[in-house]
Chain A
Amino acid sequence: MKVLVAVLCLFCAFLTADFIWSQGETPVRTGVSGFEERAGDGVRAGMESRGLESRGVPFDHALHGDSIGLDCAACHTGSKSGARAYMPAKSDCMDCHRLPLTEKPGIEKLDSALADAPEHPWKAVSQLPDHVVFHHGVHSAAGVTCADCHGGRGAVARAVDDREAIARDARNVPNYERNVYGGLKIDMKTCLQCHKGETFKERNFKPAATYCAACHR
């Protein structure tokens, strides 16, 4: 009995302190953004807290993704070649949207919204700490897909509240610790695990550099 109490004390204190200390410890919350049309206020508030801001242009990732053969890098320039994945500028949207694309109702509304939109309709604030180097391009070139970290499919499923899809997603992808978007929860531990080749074994990633200055400056 006494031993039980002692172990319980130890364990509870450990968990509590760990929890308190690690509040806000995960600096990088990766996840696809912008289900403005469907998302409730909660998601929007969450977006704002993460420094994402949309200026009047509704956007749905589900409509723009694989269904029409578009790559993330088409809008998020740099996400497969550079250090940062940028948000699209209005001119990037207008590459396609200057032509009438569908007959769906509401397209005029979109057109007028686009016409009024500022030059940079979206703005994001980097969540990466200053001392961390994360190069999107090199990870993409090594075979890591956007959805591995940002949880593309899971996020889409969640957005439409498709429980079955969420379950399927969970079955297909190994059960790593995930953030609210279904992407990999990112902190130094998970970075290192993957770099050492401990996680994502099924994907045959090559082990990557693990010395400090590979990712820190």
Chain B
Amino acid sequence: MALVGLLQGCKKGQLGDGAGTGSGERLSAFMKRCEDEVRLAVSEAHGRMDLVKVPMPKEMKGSLAGFSAGSAREASVNRFGMAIDLDLCNGCGKCILACNTENNVALVTDEEAARGRFMHWIDMRGGAPFMCAHCGDAPCEKVCPTGAANHTPDGISAMMYKRCTGSRFCGANCPAKARKFNFNDAQELGLVRKLNYDVPLREKGVMEKCSLCLHRLQNDRMRFKTEAAIAGSNAEWRGRGVKTACAEACPRNAIVFGNWLDPESPLVKAAQGRQLYAPRELAEHDPAVVFMMGKR
């Protein structure tokens, strides 16, 4: 047993780095803490979502007209989003754990956990996962003083952590309160590990939220563009084949990730003929992450 433990301990060197080593905690124990926290969050979940019907997300209105030649040309062809199938989802919370490990989401201290304040990018609301909806007409981005919250041409509401001053205006202005603020210095408290090198750790005092696994999309875009340039093709990148961590982890495939503007995307196929919903407070902001329930 001791030998297994030792081996587990040695594994840390490969997977985690210096972050959080102050506690000297083993990776397996850390992972267990993560799981416990998710379990707690799922069990404590409360509140209902007030869903209203919405049409299928289309191109973002207005904002792309001004794209100059120097900017990304792929502006109009992509709009990434997700649909969560409420008929399939049973609220198991696996998506939360997958998201946390993928995005190096910090744990919270015990007293915060007791008050139900987690850093999770996915909340359980009304028995279903709820995350940032990546509104096409995002209220949070309008009020961010530094431009740290901004939209990519691909329809992702991105956060530039290094540009964030932590004025928390975006958090206040999000109608669904999908944004989380780093009250703690998680690295110092040993509440976070760099489980995934692709995602930077967030420092104390910045806002964070669901990024639609932006790093996966970025990696895929770069790979695609490299290959396209070698092959001499003019194909546009549509983000085919990319999945978010939560969509990947869902045992019932209730979360579908894709490109709303790509007819071949699994998302568009899954949403065809289904009735789409969004939380009432977000419905008029053109959300890209929606819920599916029943046939249309």
A residues contacting B by CB (< 8 A) are: 81, 83, 129-131, 133, 135, 137-138, 140-142, 195-197, 207, 209-214, 216-217
Contact = CB atoms under 8 A, between A and B. Distances in A.
Contacts of B70: 195-197, 207, 210
Nearest to A211: B152
Q: Which 7 A-B pairs have the closest CB atoms?
A: A141-B229, A130-B200, A135-B222, A137-B226, A213-B158, A207-B70, A209-B72
B233 to A, nearest CB: 12
Given A131-B161, A217-B199, A138 B222 contact: yes
Contacts of B226: 81, 135, 137-138, 140-141
Given A131-B161, A131-B200, A211 B150 contact: yes
B165 interface: no
Interface string B186-206: 000000000000111100000
Contact of B71 (A129, A135, A210): A210
Given A196-B70, A212-B160, A83 B229 contact: no
Contacts of A213: 150, 152, 156, 158, 160, 214, 218
A133 B200 contact: no
Interface string B22-46: 0000000000000000000000000
A83 B162 contact: no
B134 to A, nearest CB: 12
A83 B222 contact: yes
A141 B230 CA distance: 6
Given A131-B161, A137-B223, A217 B215 contact: yes
A140 B215 CA distance: 20
A138 B229 contact: yes
A142 B71 contact: no
